[in-house]
Structure 1
Amino acid sequence: MAEWMRLQPAELAQKLGTDEPVFLIDVRSNPKDVQDWHIEHRNVEFRHFPAALLLEEAPEAYAELPKDREIHVVCAKGLTSTEVARRLAERGYRAVELVGGMEAWSQYYHPVTAYEDEKLKIVQFNRLGKGCLSYAIISKGEMMVVDPLRRADVYDDFAREHGLTIRHIVDTHIHADHISGGQALSRLTGAPYYVSSHDVFTHQGGISFEPLEQYQTLRVGDVEVEVVIIPTPGHTPGSTSLLVDRRFFLSGDTVFVSGLGRPDLGGMVEAWAKDLYETVVTKLKDLPDELLVLPAHYSHYSEINDRGIVGATLGELRRANDLLREMDRETFLARVEAAASTVKPPNYEKIIAINVGKLAVDDQEAIELEIGPNRCAVHHATA
């Protein structure tokens, strides 16, 4: 019987972190689904072949498949890809099936060390299938989790594996494109969960939380590791950024490598765009260029640097993004409001309702609600 390889999402992520070319075919049937959301990276050579073409052995499909390379096969949930990989193997191709398909890829969080010295370590968890980022701030055996994604077990397991105690759990705002793991992680570990009361009350939420705006700083491990809380409204009225050890700026959805957080997901685009402008000209203006900005999202694999990190200094972002430089208010508002007319995150109203405690769903529905890319940014390239 013909054999083929099976690859877990973590193994594929490791391959994407190398210079080795990866030939990958997506065999989902709907071209729009594939166009909207598929696996991309700088070393991926991507093709879309509906499974029917390969299972029916259409000559035009097989003509484009290399015999001397591994062919990575991806489908929606890892069912059709098994049939395609078997057929490829029977015909002598080196087939590699992604176990669980795009659904499993969407649920994988890839940890990368963004910084480490004798007193401080910052780990960036990259949800590669969705462009969502979260962080562990670690010092002296203690850990603070910032913008935890839905799978609370990932952070709890990481802490246990490394002998760490989770002391604080922070959401920089109420998220609209993914379900937060903050409340679940708090229940799992007993650590307090912080988020802005402005965001919770805006959506008439009923969750249990510590009002983030009532704290000036939070401490993790070594007393020198200080997390300064900086209100940066605009994406949401309670958006908050964290200044870690005066060197790292965890910007939530306020500042991205490619743009700014969009202010229209609460139905208050004009008012929140004004807040965003005030944040840029008052809160961000005096921050030094050398701060390393670590955001909560990214929109394209090109934002991942050579070290596998999504981040850039504030000076680099100011040079690349004119929305972060001096601009008159009317021009800024016009550009941001125009960009806010783009496609909104799928299911964002339900996701917000879940994140503020107004709606409960089971695991499978949660997975389906989150499927697809994030759409939380106003991009400087298209604004």
Structure 2
Amino acid sequence: MSEKKEITTNELLERMRGESAKNPLFILDVRSEEDYDSWKIEDIKTPQTVNLPYIDFIEEPEAMTEKVPKDRQVVVLCGKGGASDYVADILRKAGRDAVNVAGGMKSWGRLYQPAVVYEQGAARVYQVNRVGKGCLSYIIVAGNEAAVVDPARHVEQYLDYLKENNLTLKLVFDTHIHADHLSGGVKLAEATGAEYFLNKKDAPGSAMKFGGIEDGMEFTLGDARLNVVALGAPGHTPGSTIIVFEGKLLFTGDTLFVSSMGRPDLGGQAAIWVKDLYQTIQGLNKFDNDVIILPTHTSGPEEWDDKGVVMRTLGQIRADNPLMNISNLDDFAAKVLAHLPEQPDTYDKMRKANIGAIQPSEDEMELWELGKNRCAIEAAEEAKGT
């Protein structure tokens, strides 16, 4: 039995990805059934997970303990780490090898994993996967300069990387105004002196300091003078923009995902914005099949490779997503509008915060960001039959 009573979410992720048949984990989630069903631990290799609410351990500790295996290490999880610590202690006293997850699902939602997705000459691109939320951001490096695309609000991870690699941050891009999470764009730019860019159509009347990115704008990065081009891509939002890097990589924001595409209803104008989305998708026909798509969200581990990376060629997406191949606007609109998931109440608040219209507290930001993102049209596979 391990003497350790607590592990971090980063340690949990490492254990899950390195898990062997000889030392399997068992995750015990002690949150309510409703909370568990809406958001849970998921990864490339998710161990057996069981939901047994905390209240049941208070009322019937012996009976509940019997439902927990004796021959595996038990990882106990709750919302913030308090209730699970109590349950883990009960299990240890009953002879189970149990550890508590420090910070619980709150900490899981703040876990970031970087991975290299592109490397050629002086250029490198890192994808930063916010594992618990399915949010993806990117660090583009060229020589001694860098750009960040769609940074999350926890900017320390980017600042640490820049410092460790002696890089100067030159550009920060938000591909659109985010609704499912809070942007770190302004904060990151202020901390480094970089220029921050966002399409003005997504932030009308905003007092934020930012450069207005527009279709066709070009930027250079690093000694190699690598080329970054903005491509207008309205639909998910009026100002949605795709960042094109060296003509080979498309940072598509919430316009195009690897299994779906961005929902056009977050502004309450789905019937209008879906037409823009259709035109944007049609406009991607000018790109070859081997262009790499790097989105800002993922629906889950089923889209990840064995390193946790989320990327596809445009050709793969064309082959797998039937929405990409609808050549009639009315048919496209009907398919999309029939597969829009419910919009969380917090999304309007986060949109306002992301244009500087409101200033939420740290507690409010933590609360609003809980859970997975819901920025996509329902899975393309589900859309085939309607």
Could you tell me how far 1:107 is from its partner in structure 2? 1.4
Structure 1: distance between partners of 2:167 and 2:98: 40
Distance 1:277 1:127 in 2: 29
User: Using the alignment, how far apart are the partners of 2:364 and 2:228 within structure 1?
Assistant: 35
Report what 2:284 is aligned to: 284
Match of 1:354, SS state, is helix
Distance apart, 1:228 and its partner CA:
1.5
Question: Equivalents in 1 of 2:360, 2:321: separation in Å?
Answer: 39
Give secondary structure in 1 for the equivalent of 2:219: strand
Aligned residue among 99, 102, 117 for 2:102: 99
Work out whether 1:114 is the aligned partner of 2:113: no
Query: 1:226 offset after TM fit, Å?
Result: 1.3
Match for 1:322: what amino acid?
P
State the AA in 1 paired with 2:272. Answer: A
For the Cα contact (< 8 Å) 1:227–1:244, is it kept in 2?
Answer: yes
Alpha carbons 1:40, 1:46 under 8 Å: kept = no
Q: Distance in 2 between matches of 1:199 and 1:243?
A: 19
Quick one: distance in 1 between partners of 2:194 and 2:296? Answer: 21
Change (3 A) 1:346 1:70: farther
2:370 matched residue in structure 1: 371
Q: CA deviation at 1:14?
A: 2.0
1:181 is matched with: 184
Tell me the secondary structure at the aligned position of residue 290 of structure 1.
coil
CA RMSD of aligned residues (A): 1.7
- Corresponding position of 2:268: 267
* Aligned equivalents of 1:13, 1:192: Cα separation in 2: 34
Match of 2:80 in 1: 77
Q: Describe the superposition over 1:236-266 as per-residue Cα deviations: whole angstroms up to 9, x where unpaired.
A: 0110111112221111001101100000001
Quote the Cα distance in structure 2 between the aligned partners of 1:235 and 1:22: 40
Q: How far 1:65 sits from its partner (Å)?
A: 1.8
User: What is the DSSP-based 3-state SS (H/G/I as helix, E as strand, rest coil) of the residue aligned with 1:87?
Assistant: helix
For 1:1-383, list aligned pairs within 5 A. 3-20=3-20, 21-28=24-31, 30-44=32-46, 45-201=48-204, 204-213=205-214, 216-281=217-282, 283-340=283-340, 342-378=341-377, 379-383=379-383
Could you report, residue by residue, the CA deviation over 1:284-323 in whole angstroms, capped at 9, with x for unpaired residues?
A: 1111111111100011211111232011111111100011
Structure 1: unaligned runs, 5 residues or longer: none
CA deviations over 1:309-356 (Å, ceiling 9, x no partner): 01111111110001111431111001111122x211340010000001
Q: Is the 8 A contact 1:10 1:108 kept in 2?
A: yes
The 2-side partners of 1:243 and 1:176 are apart by 23
SS of equivalent residue, structure 1 residue 323: helix
* Whole-angstrom CA distance in 2 between matches of 1:346 and 1:312: 31
Q: How far, CA to CA, are the matches of 2:279 and 2:44 in structure 1?
A: 36
Aligned equivalents of 1:234, 1:99: Cα separation in 2: 40
Question: What letter corresponds to residue 279 of structure 1 in structure 2?
Answer: T
What is the deviation of 1:227? Answer: 1.2
1: distance between equivalents of 2:231 and 2:67? Answer: 53
| 1:214 CA drift (Å) | 6.6
Percent of aligned pairs with the same residue? 38
Say whether the 8 Å CA contact 1:4–1:89 is kept in structure 2: no
Amino acid corresponding to residue 35 of structure 1 in structure 2 = D
Moved more, 330-339 or 55-64: 55-64
User: Structure 2: 5+ residue runs without aligned partners?
Assistant: none
TM-aligned CA distance change 1:22 to 1:230, over 3 Å: farther
Looking at structure 1, the residues matched to 365 and 106 of structure 2 have their Cα atoms a distance apart, in angstroms, of 11
Which amino acid is the alignment partner of residue 258 of structure 1?
Answer: S
Normalised by the length of structure 1, the TM-score is 0.94
Q: Distance in 1 between matches of 2:335 and 2:55?
A: 44
What letter matches 1:373 in structure 2?
K
CA distance in 2, matches of 1:75, 1:37: 11
Q: d(CA) in 1 for partners of 2:247 and 2:126?
A: 17
C-alpha change, 1:22 and 1:316, in structure 2 (3 Å) is farther
CA distance in 1, matches of 2:215, 2:368: 32
Give the deviation of 1:117 after TM superposition: 3.3
SS at match of 1:23: strand
CA distance in 2, matches of 1:102, 1:57: 24
For residues 137 and 131 of structure 2, the distance between their equivalents in structure 1, rounded to whole angstroms, comes to: 11
One-letter amino acid of the counterpart of residue 41, structure 1: D
**Alignment-mate amino acid for residue 318 of structure 2:** R
Specify the code of the residue in structure 2 equivalent to 1:34: Y
Whether the aligned pair in 1 keeps the contact of 2:81 and 2:104 (CA below 8 Å) is yes
- The answer on whether the counterparts of 1:55 and 1:87 sit within 8 Å (CA) in structure 2 is no
SS of residue paired to 1:83: helix
User: What is the letter of the counterpart of residue 101 of structure 1?
Assistant: G
SS of match in other structure, 1:339: coil
Q: Measure, in 2, the Cα distance between the counterparts of 1:215 and 1:42.
A: 38
Residue 5 to residue 162, structure 1, CA distance change in 2 (3 Å): farther
Task: State the Cα deviation string for residues 101-151 of structure 1 (Å, max 9, x = none).
Answer: 111111122111212233111111111111100000011121100000011
**CA apart distance, 1:86:** 1.2
In 2: Cα distance, 1:54 partner to 1:365 partner: 30
Name the aligned partner's letter for residue 330 of structure 1: D
